[in-house]
Amino acid sequence: MTDLDTRVAPASSALARTSRALRRAAPALLGYAAVRALGLVALALWSAARGKSAHTLLTARWDSLWYTRVAELGYGYEVRLPNGDIHSNLAFFPLLPWLERGLHAVSPLSYADAGLVVSLLASLAAAWGIFAVADQVYGRRAGVCAVLVWAVLPVGIVQSMAYSESLFTALAAWSLYAVLTGRWLTAGTLAALAGLTRPVGLAVVAAVWAAGVASFVHQRRSPSFGHTGSGGAPPGARETPHAPSPVPGRSGEGAPVPRRALAALLAPLGAAGYVLWVGHRTGKGVFGYLDVQAGWRNGFDGGYAFARFVADKFTSVPGALAGLALIAGVGLVLWLYAVGVRQGQPLPLLVYTGVVTALALCASSYFGSKPRLLMPAFTLLLPLALALARARPRRSAAVLAVAAVASAVYGAFWLNGSGPP
């Protein structure tokens, strides 16, 4: 075999594996694209009826404006409000604006349109990553259902906006999949990129660290732990609930400790690097980014402000109904997490879900954003996906179809109203 053959063979093998993986995920991706297309059609019709531009709603609302401004002008822009608050664009992490700037540089797209394209492509990558994770744990049918449940979330229209949720979810999902399959350096690199996308990138870092520590402990206690001889998930892991496992599959086969250690070092570099840079730029050291967030009246208070916000709803009858709905929503989130624990989801998924959920529910401001902030916690949806996968296909299809229509209508209504902050 020539040197050229030895170089071509691995590339050909990788291409073949990717092709097989894409074919396996095709039903999920096609279903996801159909749901998102339905949402965009509903938005276009609703916007036209109200004399608004669906394109503007997708590219020039709230966070998308801030990301576009960073892409075009860089950091340093801020708005001083009448009450003295300072909204600085340093609050927005840089990966999405970098991609917007790069795509704008090599195409005729405006910065805003570049952001929309990045988000649309990232949403497909996120759907594929969600399928890969669910397929790894529960099987193909559950993977398809997980993607469709994520697509039909009430605020699913955000997945098609020039926001960073889709990009972050894609990086998080593929990092988790890399952990589940023992690709430690890939997991660490993707975690670092997730940390450059949103502050909640800490959840991906925590998942990589937890998986690394757990796999090391289990390897020390039982060197044969997780060995399947074929690199797949342990028998029964895909189809039936099982005891909580640190990392199923290839990661239990004894990945070199230096590789796991390097992944652990790589994972926080994105978030840490940006936070330290903001601290240097503001002259306030490691607390600089916290000061920036304080200017937006955003922080972490353990959920006190959110609880007070819900309690204040009960001062009127309409408000009480909204308060009860909020309590029911939080209860549903916590119940889904508890079900995931009982079903024995792998440790990195549980850690990731827990951190994303805690950061979303315990933030001290922007209460209307909480459904959007929870969107990256796709792992919360795995119990629902598993239930749909086990139901009769016709019944599952009917449930998802109704949810898709409701999501499309609600998304169009929501975005034509006050919109997602």
**pLDDT tens for residues 1-27?**
555 455 555 667 878 888 899 999 999
Residue 32 has pLDDT above 90, yes or no: yes
Mean pLDDT in residue range 100-105? 97
- Indicate the pTM of the whole model: 0.90
- Which pLDDT belongs to residue 300? 82
- % of residues, the chain, pLDDT over 90: 69
Give the pLDDT of residue 419: 66
Mean confidence (pLDDT) of the chain: 88
Highest mean pLDDT among 71-85, 224-238, 262-276, 278-292: 262-276
Identify the band that residue 285 occupies on the pLDDT scale cut at 50, 70 and 90: confident
Q: What are phi and psi of 239, to 5 degrees?
A: -110, -20
Percent of the chain topping pLDDT 70: 89
| Range in 54-63, 114-123, 306-315, 323-332 the model is least confident about | 306-315
pLDDT in tens, 168-196: 999 999 999 999 999 999 999 999 999 99
pLDDT of 309 reads 81
Highest mean pLDDT among 198-207, 227-236, 362-371: 198-207
In this prediction, residue 246 has a pLDDT band, given cuts at 50, 70 and 90, of: low
In tens, the pLDDT along 379-393 reads 999 999 999 999 999
pLDDT at 232 over 50: no
